[in-house]
């Protein structure tokens, strides 16, 4: 699907209930360029290592590997990551097992805090949904597509 059609579908479906149908093209473009809490913050192994650094990222992966034998949820999450999937830092289960790694001294509090801080990532809708910076003309074209 082209970016124009993706943008058109995004505007029509209004997945975050912003009220695009009642906005002008300029208002939609402006709204889509506002930084907000990104919500679902998911990372694969490489993305995680890139965001928190290799020391903290490796510590998390080692903690997951250590716990995988006794915790089925951690085991499944690790398999998802190993198969190219992602881990949602905002998911309550993810946050819970990261806290359990601190309790079990598999992660330091500072390492856990660095990982959990990713949940505060702010992105524009353009960044979040892959449109980049959205301009009024793009909205006009997408609405007419």
**Domain map (residue ranges) of the chain:** 3-37+123-144, 42-120
The tens place of each residue's pLDDT in the chain, 145 residues long, gives 455 558 888 899 988 888 999 999 999 999 999 988 766 778 889 888 888 999 999 999 999 999 999 999 999 999 999 999 988 888 899 999 999 999 999 999 999 999 999 888 788 888 877 888 999 999 999 998 6
Tell me the C-alpha distance between 106 and 58, whole Å.
11
Tell me the C-alpha distance between 23 and 136, whole Å.
12
* Spatial CB neighbours of 135, under 8 Å, sequence gap ≥ 6: 29
CB 30 within 8 A of CB 46: no
* Spatial CB neighbours of 64, under 8 Å, sequence gap ≥ 6: 74, 77, 78, 81, 97, 101
pTM of the model: 0.63
């Amino acid at each position: 699907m082209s970016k124009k059609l993706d943008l058109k579908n995004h505007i029509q479906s209004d997945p975050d209930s912003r009220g695009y149908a009642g906005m002008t093209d300029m208002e939609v473009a402006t709204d889509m360029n506002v930084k907000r809490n990104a919500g679902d913050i998911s990372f694969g192994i490489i993305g995680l290592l890139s965001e928190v650094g290799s020391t903290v990222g490796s510590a998390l992966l080692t903690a997951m590997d250590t716990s995988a034998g006794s915790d089925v949820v951690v085991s499944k999450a690790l398999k998802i990551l190993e198969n190219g999937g992602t881990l949602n830092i905002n998911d309550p289960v993810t946050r819970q097992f990261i806290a359990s790694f601190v309790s079990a001294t598999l992660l330091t509090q500072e390492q856990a805090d660095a990982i959990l801080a990713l949940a505060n990532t702010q992105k524009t809708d353009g960044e979040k949904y892959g449109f980049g910076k959205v301009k009024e003309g793009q909205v006009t074209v997408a609405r007419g597509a």
